[in-house]
Structure formats: structure tokens, C-alpha cells
Amino acid sequence: MQEKKIIDRFIRYVKVDSQSDPESTTTPSTEKQWDIIHLLVDELKEIGLSEVEVDEYGYIMATLPSNVSHEVPTIGFIAHYDTSPDFSGANVNPQFVYNYDGGDIVLNEKENIVLSSTYFPDLKKYVGQTIITTDGLSLLGADDKAGVAEIVSAMEYLLEHPQIQHGKIRIAFTPDEEIGKGPHKFDVAKFGAQWAYTMDGSHIGELEYESFNAAGAKIHIKGKGVHPGTAKGRMINSILIANELIGALPENEIPQRTEGREGFFHVLGIKGDVEDTYINLIIRDHDRKKFNARKELLHTVVKDLQKLYKDAVFELEVEDQYYNMREKIEPVIHIVEIAEQAMKEVGVTPVIQAIRGGTDGAQLSFKGLPCPNIFAGGVNFHGKYEYLPVPSLFKAIDVIVKIAELTAAKKK
């Protein structure tokens, strides 16, 4: 493969601001996502894919036709083109670190922003490699434009090398994954694959088919504002009640104190005044029973505070976002085994683990499209310390090509 062409493709994608917006009611959630949609549609046509189309919601689909005469399952590869609303995706200015020496990387000397190998020890995995970083003023967008670039490049490679046998391959690029809405309007029947892979993992080798069960919660606390000089027995300070509510949740069951399959409550935001305070939080757990227990605990905490503060008003909304895709993928575990074999055959050590998060694949699996997740190579997503080791980008492409080849070979 032409390495420079692939890197240039990735850089071209990340320079397009396609940040999503959780407060929006449209799909895509931001108008600017259409900029990368149009770019991708044109590029897919240019490389020679068939059935390239985009619907009114920004879902891009295309086909690489089968080049074998025997029957092969139709498989798919999926990535999202939006970037996180948590950090700016505008004016992305990628920097290259060649032959990384294992030390700190200065992202922005003027602002004294440093990618520390002490604070981020995973950096040392990539000593000697070329690493693409931010300039410290935006995120990079490897989540998930690395995945997009990998899928496009793999399809282009297969088109240019017809001697590699493969069945029909469907690809899709989706909006709004970062705000949990990526699969909401994804037409699984139209996509027409028996299974698919999201290219949305992090470190090289990651292969995941177990995700969190996830819910979002919004709490509105209505207090009573009274002049502080005459407030005794009358004022109800909703801010203080909100602090009490947060303090009633298990103090060690938060993201920064959990790992592996440990679940958590995560307060995303709190804003308000004496009379009205709003809390936005998420609930995560790999175990469905523990997940349900967490939701019940939140309801109990709110009920208890309502009893304590009878003149306050509490409004609680809890909405499930996605479920652990393991229960849908285990019955078809061979699709994970194909990906595992593909990694081994291209020299990548598979790292099978549970996702401490979610991907489009979690929701798609419950919509009838089993969808394990494969590494895209980026690290430290959603912020200025995001980076992408270039060899991981290339290896992900190799894995896609090999999965296509193995799927065809298994059905001969």
C-alpha cells in the first residue's frame, strides 16, 4: 500500500471539523458534519466502489462486490466520522514525531502543553515509531477518522488487488456516534450484511465484543429562593441538595477509581442556582443485574431526598442508551474468531477485552447486526493528548483485508 497516500487521507479527514452536538435534535446533529459526508461520498466513488449513497440523515453506505463464484456471507465494516463534543475538533493541526524516543512530546511550546510519557505510560509501547499528535489546541480526530481512513484504504487495496478473493463487502460511515445516536437511524436491512466490524477501538490488537450496559440520567431539583437575611426555615437551596445527592452515590464507583469490568456513576455536568439545579450523569456496568441495581439506587437516593426536603421538587429521567453486546455476539462467536485469526496472520497480537465504553456496534448488535469492535489505533481519545501511531493505522488496514480474505476462504 502507498503509505504516504494513506497518511494524507487521514490528515485530510481530521482537518474537516465534524464535531457532534448532544443538545441537537437533528441527524446529523451538526450541519458541519455534511462537509465530511460530501468528501467521503466523492472519494468512495473515486476509488471505484459500487452503490455509493448517502441518506437524508448522513448515513453513507457503499459496496465492494464479491469477486468469487462460491457463496460467501456478506460482511460489513463501519466507522463514524463525527468527533467528540467534549473538545474542539476545529483547526486540527496534526504534528509528526518521527522515530519516537520514549520521552515527553511537546505539543505546544507556547502554551506549555506536553504529552507526558510518565502520565501516559502507554506511549512507551510505540518507541521507534512515527506518531501523529495534536498541536495541543484541539483533539486529533483519530476517533474515528482513523477507522474511516482504514476502511477506505482497505477497500481501495482490494480493488487494486483482485487476486485477493473476497465476498460482498458493505461499508458504512455514520454520524453522531460520540453522542450515542450513531445507530439510531441506521438501516440494518438496507445495509444487508450478516455481520460487521466497527473499526473504533484504540491500541493495536484490541478486539472487543463486550461493552457496558449504559444509561443516561437527568435530574432537575427545584428549590425556593428567599432573601438570605430572612431565609431560616424557608430557603431551599437546590445547589446544596444537588451536592448531597451526588455525595450519596458510592464515592469509589466513579471512572477515575474503577477499571476492567467495574461499573460506575459519572457526573458529566451540574449547573444551576438556588431555585433550579440540573445534574447530568451516566451509569455504566458490564453486568446487566448490577446495571439495573445502579439505576434503582439512583431512584432510591432521589426518593430519600424528596422525603427529607418535602418542599423541594425532584424530576428524574433515566434513559437506557445501549446494552452489553456480548449476549448478541456469543451465539455467533465465529465472527470474533475470524478477526482474531486475521490479526495473528498479519502479525498483530490480539488483545480480547471488554470495552470500557460503547461503540455503534453495541446498539447495532441489538438491532440484528452482530458487530465486534476492532482497533483503529488512536490513543487518548476526546482531548488534546490524542495521538495515533502510524504503524497501527497500517496494521488495521491489513486486518480488514485479511478478514475479507478469510471469510471467503472459510466458505469454499
Catalytic residues: 82, 177
Q: For residue 117, how many C-alpha atoms fall within 13 Å in the half-sphere facing its CB?
A: 12
Cα 372 to Cα 213, 217, 287, 340, distances in angstroms = 15, 27, 18, 11
Q: Over the range 237-267, which residues count as b (16 or more CB within 10 Å of their CB) and which as e?
A: bbbebbeebbeebeeebeeeebeeebbbbeb
**CB of 14 closer than 8 Å to CB of 141:** yes
Which residues does 92 contact at the CB level (< 8 Å), separation at least 6? 14, 15, 17, 134, 138, 139, 140, 141
Q: Over the range 164-193, which residues count as b (16 or more CB within 10 Å of their CB) and which as e?
A: ebbbbbbbbbbbbbbbbbbbebbeeeebeb
Name the strands in the sheet holding 387-389, side by side, starting at the edge strand that comes first in the sequence: 95-97, 131-133, 387-389
The pairing of beta strand 373-375 with beta strand 195-201: parallel
Closest CA relative to residue 64, chosen from 411, 366, 407, 364: 407
- The single-letter code of the amino acid at 33 is Q
The pairing of beta strand 113-115 with beta strand 105-108: antiparallel
Closest CA relative to residue 284, chosen from 357, 362, 360, 183: 357
Write the Ramachandran bin of 403: left for phi over 0, alpha for psi from -120 to 50, otherwise beta: alpha
Which residues does 285 contact at the CB level (< 8 Å), separation at least 6? 212, 213, 263, 264, 291, 294
Can you tell me the distance from the alpha carbon of 79 to that of 158, in angstroms, rounded to the nearest whole number? Answer: 18
Closest CA relative to residue 18, chosen from 248, 250, 229, 174: 174
**CB of 91 closer than 8 Å to CB of 137:** yes
Cα 83 to Cα 1, 14, 44, 90, distances in angstroms = 27, 9, 20, 10
